[in-house]
Amino acid sequence: MRPSLAFALLFAIPCPAQFTLQISNTTADLRGIHNVGSGVAWASGTQGTVLRTEDGGYVWQSCSIPPGAEKLDFRGIQAFDANTAIVMSSGPGDQSRLYKTTDGCHTWKLLLTNPYAPDGFFDAILFLDRKHGILFGDPSPQNINTPTEYANNFRIRVTANGGGTWGPVSATDWPIKPGHGLHALSNESAFAASNSCIASKDGWFWFGTSTSRTAFRRLYEGQTPSSFLFNVPFCAGAVDPLSGVCGLPWIDFEDAQVPINHSTQSAGIFSLYFQTATLGMAVGGDYTNPNDADHTAAYTADGGRIWQAAQTPPHGYRSSVAYDATTKSWITVGPNGTDISTDNGRNWHLVHPDPALHEPADADRNWNALSLPYVVGPKGRIGKLDPAAIKP
């Protein structure tokens, strides 16, 4: 089908590159990034790599490698200040772990090793505040280590003490309905490409999957998480041997189908971001075919109940998306480029480096994950947003 003139023009008008490349002093592939604010940010990646900056990215410091983590792939990191952070490794079985530092990454403590081993895979970690966190992972069979959880459910564990202990979330609704809430469809999983297949905003929680399904639920009312979200009032069933608590019955999920390509096992939703409790964005596609721009982004204006495909999609597979309040722009990144949207995801515009400004030719591409103003990618790539370059 011949593209419309408007579609062609949108793809033909480039914008300047918005990321200034920084010196990371590592060749590790970076997928974890978290901007704490006030100049503090943390990044993570392969070979047990963790980096930290305290001066807005002028200098990135290499952290000590957590014990036994030399071969781990740290795909997610959640930081709280210049001294405190939790890093998540992703991999099959016991290669999925959590470590925490409280002394600026001089030393690390192992918090959790995947209790579903030899199955299971950690996909994302997200903290609602300094105490309350959510760990999300692929479905796995039930075993003696996880008696409180159903077989072949997406795995969620939560903490109310900053990661000290992690209790299980169970789905006790009956009958079990594959493709509803935590109950996975056959071969359904999630992607750990950018630590953003889960999202939370104003007391709501969402996750996205390889079948381009989203599930969401209200976590709490008010401004802060409630204690009942992380603690069961009584225990009438099996006790989780790892945390010493019963499973938390998160059963009231709603589900929606998102118009994002999921035609192969390497395609689906890779990243979710919600600007408000109602306005959200999903991006993805097929990471083995990064130049395929068919159905790579969708948006919702009602909290995830109905999703609309972008009219002008990003021009390839995208692994991460975020909203920049300074420029009122959505930004999405992937291996073959960067796109921005100034109309809440309906249309996406290519971003290109400007040779006249001596910007590197690849400043717009080879990116994995966003935590604005920072972006990270393979071979130690770190960039920092230049807001002036993306003003519409």
The tens-digit pLDDT sequence of the chain (392 residues) is 434 333 333 333 344 457 899 999 999 999 999 999 999 999 999 999 999 999 999 999 999 999 999 999 999 999 999 999 999 999 999 999 999 999 999 999 999 999 999 999 999 999 999 999 999 999 999 888 888 888 899 999 999 999 999 999 987 666 678 899 999 999 999 999 999 999 999 999 999 999 999 999 999 988 888 877 887 767 767 788 888 888 888 888 999 999 999 999 999 999 999 999 999 999 999 999 999 999 999 999 999 999 999 999 999 999 999 999 989 999 999 999 999 999 999 999 998 887 777 778 899 999 999 999 999 999 999 999 987 766 54
pLDDT for 183: 93
pLDDT attached to residue 237: 72
Amino acid letter, residue 80: F
How many structural domains does the chain have? 1
The domain spanning residue 265 has which CATH number? 2.130.10.10
Q: Model's pTM, two decimal places?
A: 0.93
Cis omega (within 30 of 0) for bond into 373? yes
Q: What is the pLDDT of residues 295-354, one digit of tens each?
A: 999 999 999 999 999 999 999 999 999 999 989 999 999 999 999 999 999 999 998 887
CA distance linking residue 360 with residue 20, whole number of Å: 9
What confidence score (pLDDT) does residue 17 get? 55
pLDDT of 174 reads: 65
Cα(185)–Cα(120) distance, integer angstroms? 15
Q: How far is CA 321 from CA 119, 219, 229, 331, 348, in A?
A: 29, 23, 28, 6, 12
pLDDT attached to residue 387: 77
Residue that the structure tokens 């579609």 belong to = 7
Residues in the chain: 392
Q: Backbone phi, then psi, for 101, in 5-degree steps?
A: -120, 145
Q: Which of 134, 40, 136, 32 is nearest to 87 (CA)?
A: 32
What residues have CB less than 8 Å from 325, skipping those under 6 apart?
none
Whole-angstrom distance, CA of residue 156 vs CA of residue 124: 10
Cβ proximity of 218 and 203 under 8 Å: yes
Range of the domain at 10: 5-390
The structure tokens listed for 338 are 């960067």
